[in-house]
Amino acid sequence: MTIAPERVEDLVTALRTVLREDQILTSKTDRYNRARVPAPFPVHRWAERVPDLAVLPTTTEQVADVVRIANELRIPIVPRDGGTGLTDGAVPLRGGIVVDVKRMNKIWEIDLDNRTATVGTGISMLKLNEELGKHGLFYPDDPASYPCSLVGGRIGTSGWSLIGSRYGHTRDLVLSFDLVLPTGEVMHVGDGIGRKISKSSSGYQLKHLFMGHQGTLGIATEATLKLYPKPEAELSPFWAFDNYDDAYACVGALARAGVATFAGAVLFDEWKVAYLRRDDEAYIPQPNDVRALVCAVMYGYEDEVRPAGKRLFRIAKEHNARYLGDEISEGDWAARHDRYATPLHGRTKDGQVVPMSWHCEDAAVNYTRLPSVTKAWHEIVADLRRKTDVFDDWGMFAYTSADTGVDYLTEIDVGIWEQQLDDRAWELWVQAKREIAAVAISHQGSISACHGSCREGEVDLVPDELGRGFDVMLEVKRALDPNNIMNPGKYLLDRAYDTEDPA
């Protein structure tokens, strides 16, 4: 959906009062480039999700001016950082303005004594860590999209980090940030009046509210982040198992061991191992008797990681694990931080190789629920495959979210033949997404640990997951965004405006 051409002209005229000409992008290429996201969508419908223009602000004041203009003119506005989000958060469902914050990528301060960095939210963790490394420091927000997702998008999604079991996830690592509210006012979000307090009990704890909202409550422009010593040692043993049950028992035991340098563990199920063997060129193929894999990761100083490793190796051995050797262990772990180059092909039911894009469905699930969620999700995808050749099951991972092993980011990777995604196949997929989300909820989990849950299908179950909390979301949205201009159409938040009298 787009806005009328004469309104676009009025908008451009207004934007010229606050931005330079080169910061206002109206060409088709610029607009289409900022409509793209990795999650597959029917090609014949791509034109529905293109912004009317994009802007490239460089300061908080400019973002605030743009938002104020959008609010006055009642024009939709969508924040976009790396555009790697997998729940369509940065997709402009109603046209309007995409605010691309990539030029806000300065490092404003590295505070060596308090161990913080203050940055523009358009910076990537990769670039930031290149600078921090010079001081022996690092910022440990480490998604598999590490090189190309940006700090603002991490705030917008409240992202999950591969090494979060040791360092925490985005919400733990971001201390504070400046946020442009949907009315154009600027608000400082965080604990305390300064930027660098990690714990306060004063007032409502608003930081969590303003993270993970998928750009529906404002645009984060400058953030202060917690830093850690750059780890001297990284140990990431990969073990093979000849059955899923041993691997499952092993990952649980490793995560529950309470080893201080433990940064995370990953369980690869049979489907994933078969897929890696079959189709992922980046992986060193495993013999057929390997049916499941586990990887554990330890980060820290050499003299703490080495004994910790001994302990975890002992636990793995007790669970019939076979160590795969240093080369595979180091190589595969390195590749985990940069999964952008996922394979571009999959297979039909008959084994025919066809072009496919990757899609990942994720949920937060307790350890004890993993086997039954795994089974139910594979059945959903198998059912899809019985109905059409557009989908392939690329297997599942379960990654620890916490240092105690309480819950796991559980993901099923689905190959989608995007060029063949017609209306019928899309409907089947949306229904499958609903079923995948329903399984997570029926297992007392959450629809998403990682990406958010505002894409078609899964979003229908958000009110079921949140209960009264969903009504609170509507009330907050209406209060902060009276004209529904900030990323409209997401998270069923239009319902906040459906009532006759919002007051």
Ligand X SMILES: Cc1cc2nc3c(=O)[nH]c(=O)nc-3n(C[C@H](O)[C@H](O)[C@H](O)COP(=O)(O)OP(=O)(O)OC[C@H]3O[C@@H](n4cnc5c(N)ncnc54)[C@H](O)[C@@H]3O)c2cc1C
Instruction: Name the residues that contact ligand X, by CB under 6 A.
Output: 38, 78-86, 89-90, 101, 121, 143-145, 149-150, 152-157, 159-160, 162, 214-215, 219-220, 339-340, 450-451, 487
Q: What is the CA radius of gyration of the chain?
A: 23
Using the minimum distance from each CB to ligand X, give the nearer residue, 105 or 487.
487
Using the minimum distance from each CB to ligand X, give the nearer residue, 179 or 290.
179
Using the minimum distance from each CB to ligand X, give the nearer residue, 228 or 340.
340
Beta bridge partners of residue 358, listed in sequence order = 415
As measured in angstroms, the least distance from the Cβ of 352 to ligand X is 25
Using the minimum distance from each CB to ligand X, give the nearer residue, 217 or 308.
217
Question: Which amino acid type is present at position 484?
Answer: N
Which 3-state string (H, E, C) describes 381-422? HHHHHHHCCCEEEEEEEEEECCCCCCEEEEEEEEEECHHHCC
Please name which of 392, 369, 333, 347 lies closest in space to residue 441, comparing C-alpha atoms: 369
Using the minimum distance from each CB to ligand X, give the nearer residue, 80 or 443.
80
Using the minimum distance from each CB to ligand X, give the nearer residue, 162 or 308.
162
As measured in angstroms, the least distance from the Cβ of 100 to ligand X is 9
As measured in angstroms, the least distance from the Cβ of 429 to ligand X is 18
Using the minimum distance from each CB to ligand X, give the nearer residue, 143 or 300.
143
Structure tokens at 134: 């010079």
As measured in angstroms, the least distance from the Cβ of 24 to ligand X is 19
Beta strands 77-80; 97-100: pairing state: parallel
Q: How far apart are CA 360 and CA 450, in angstroms?
A: 10
Using the minimum distance from each CB to ligand X, give the nearer residue, 142 or 246.
142
As measured in angstroms, the least distance from the Cβ of 386 to ligand X is 28
As measured in angstroms, the least distance from the Cβ of 101 to ligand X is 5
Using the minimum distance from each CB to ligand X, give the nearer residue, 23 or 121.
121
Using the minimum distance from each CB to ligand X, give the nearer residue, 177 or 241.
177
As measured in angstroms, the least distance from the Cβ of 337 to ligand X is 9
CB atoms within 10 A of CB 301: 12
Q: How far apart are CA 207 and CA 96, in angstroms?
A: 28
Which 3-state string (H, E, C) describes 13-67? HHHCCCCCHHHEECCHHHHHHCCCCCCCCCHHHHHHHCCCEEECCCCHHHHHHHH
Q: What is the DSSP string of 270-293?
A: HHHHHHHHHH-TTS-PPPTT--EE
Count the alpha carbons within 13 Å of 232 in the hemisphere toward its beta carbon: 7
As measured in angstroms, the least distance from the Cβ of 336 to ligand X is 8
Count the alpha carbons within 13 Å of 1 in the hemisphere toward its beta carbon: 8
Using the minimum distance from each CB to ligand X, give the nearer residue, 143 or 343.
143
As measured in angstroms, the least distance from the Cβ of 56 to ligand X is 13
Spell 177-205 as b/e; 16+ CB within 10 A means b: bbbbbbbbebeebbbeeebbeeeeeeeee
Using the minimum distance from each CB to ligand X, give the nearer residue, 241 or 275.
275
What burial class does residue 103 get, using C-beta atoms within 10 Å of its C-beta: 0-12 exposed, 13-18 middle, 19+ buried? middle
Q: How far apart are CA 177 and CA 295, in angstroms?
A: 34
Q: How far apart are CA 215 and CA 223, in angstroms?
A: 15
As measured in angstroms, the least distance from the Cβ of 89 to ligand X is 2
As measured in angstroms, the least distance from the Cβ of 113 to ligand X is 28
As measured in angstroms, the least distance from the Cβ of 458 to ligand X is 14
CA angle 404, 402, 447 (to 5 degrees): 125
